[in-house]
Chain A
């Protein structure tokens, strides 16, 4: 079974530029998550999709970050314009529903995209 695929693996941009990250979840996984992991910290949830609908985007900086999940499969996370503090690893994860209690879902993570903003 293929895992969660993310691209690119690395990206270097200058501040005020825009950038996009792509994620392909495990086949059949309805839930998709984007996390931001700043160096020395744990992953912080940015947005969670259930199929192509947003479940939680309370920590997404909506003035500069956007995400979409067309057709409930692949997802794209965009930053426009980027700031220095956006330098981080952006992790995508997916999970398969194990019943009504979503909190029990096991998340499978991709390798992440490391973003450096200069």
Chain B
């Protein structure tokens, strides 16, 4: 069965600092991996995805993620965080028949 673990429930960073959100997955084959962002009262918006090829993928809003098969990880990074990045972030793995399994999310707080 596929599963996703996001070890950090809540992360606080200062504006302008770098950010890394962790994601570990469990899946029997080559996974399709996604990161979504959810602002309060909003639905989820796709930040980036990995299907195959280059293990470093670029997304919207200056985010990137690196797929590491040996560590079963797909961590999300951003070099310099903006106050508008405060939100909840979800990692997901796509599996059979298009069914996606989501982690429980990491809430990002940005300090001025």
Contacts and interface: CB of A to CB of B under 8 A. Distances in A.
A56 B94 CA distance: 14
A48 B104 contact: no
A24 interface: no
Contacts of A45: 99-100
A48 B98 contact: yes
Given A41-B104, A42-B102, A44-B102, A104 B43 contact: no
A102 B97 contact: yes
Nearest to A111: B43
Interface string A39-59: 011111100100000011000
Which residue among A48, A107, A108 has the maximum number of chain B CB atoms within 10 Å of its CB? A107
Interface stretch (B12-20, B44-52, B66-74, B76-84): B44-52
B100 A107 contact: yes
B102 A109 contact: no
Task: Give chain A's interface secondary structure class.
Answer: mixed
Interface size class of A (residues with CB under 8 A): 20 to 34
Interface residues of B, number: 24
Which residue among A42, A44, A108 has the maximum number of chain B CB atoms within 10 Å of its CB? A42
Nearest to A6: B43
A103 B42 contact: no
A4 to B, nearest CB: 7
A88 interface: no
B99 A42 contact: no
A75 interface: no
A44 B100 CA distance: 9
Contacts of A111: 41-43
